[in-house]
Amino acid sequence: MTEVAIGNGLATSFWSDSWAGEPLRKRSPMLFEVSRRKNRTVADALEDDHWLMDLRGRITLALLPDFVALRQVMRSCNIDPDSDDTFRWKSSSGGYSASSAYALQFVGTQQSPLRHIWPVWAPPKCKFFIWLLMQLRIFTVDRLLRFWMPNQYFCPLCRQNLETPVHLFAECPWARQVWERSASLFCCPAIRKPAGDDLAPSWVVSKLAGADRRAASITTLVAWEIWRERNRCVFCNKELSVSGLVHLISDEANSWVLAGARHLVRRE
């Protein structure tokens, strides 16, 4: 978290501080484990080669490369008894702030595409459903088969293929018509399902990650209503036509508008 410029070495931890780039306890963890003293300052470690005395009799053949590398570091280390050690926070300004400390926790990590779900304007239950969909964790037939659970094998919307998340939201001809008509209904071509073999989760991610918050909300709404229609077919033995489902989507969008989603107001 901090960078250290060595002065007299009195305030700097030999093993734990970043005075030699990466802390020595991380660079040579096995040497750190066998060292007799783990709390020396740099000045104390350099005085009469105390760091070497701490390792005497404990250097095995496996530890020899780390020991040689540490020896090179110590030979290049110079201290100035007339100046103090200087500590600098690892940020652009060099000063500490809560935001910079938080950001440093994620250095070197990759951001999950799932982060695009939560800023979308939609009811929590819809966003939770999209979270499951993007991880292929919804209980379509392929997942039911994996757990030997009762299922009807075919997609309940088109009755042509094995039901999977990819088929249900990206390949099913019935669902494709819903996407097309919803795009026309809301004058939002961004949600129109492109031709090709795009996987449903990756396609949904691309819509949620875009700058158009309106398209993100509509994508969430349409995917949620397709899933509800699928469940009506399976559990209630009731079916809507494509037109009927699009009308239901329109009514639900009006409810979202009344709840505060002003960006969903129909564009002429």
Domain end residue (candidates: 83, 104, 125): 104
What DSSP element (H or E) covers 86? strand 86-89
pLDDT at 266: 72
Rounded to whole angstroms, the Cα distance separating 245 from 226 reads: 8
One domain for residues 144 and 258: yes
One domain for residues 98 and 130: no
Rounded (to 5) percent helix, strand, coil in the chain: 50, 5, 45
Q: What is the mean pLDDT, run by run of 10 residues, along the chain of 268 residues?
A: 77 84 86 89 88 88 88 83 78 65 72 83 94 91 92 91 90 92 89 59 67 85 95 93 96 94 79
Domain count, the chain: 2
Domain end residue (candidates: 104, 126, 154): 104
One domain for residues 50 and 117: no
pLDDT at 193: 63
pLDDT at 130: 92
One domain for residues 125 and 186: yes
One domain for residues 28 and 143: no
Domain of 55, in residue numbers: 2-104
Domain end residue (candidates: 104, 124, 159): 104
Indicate the pTM of the whole model.
0.64
One domain for residues 76 and 155: no
Which residues fall within 8 angstroms of residue 74, CB to CB, at 6 or more apart? Answer: 46, 51
One domain for residues 18 and 94: yes
pLDDT at 226: 96
One domain for residues 63 and 166: no
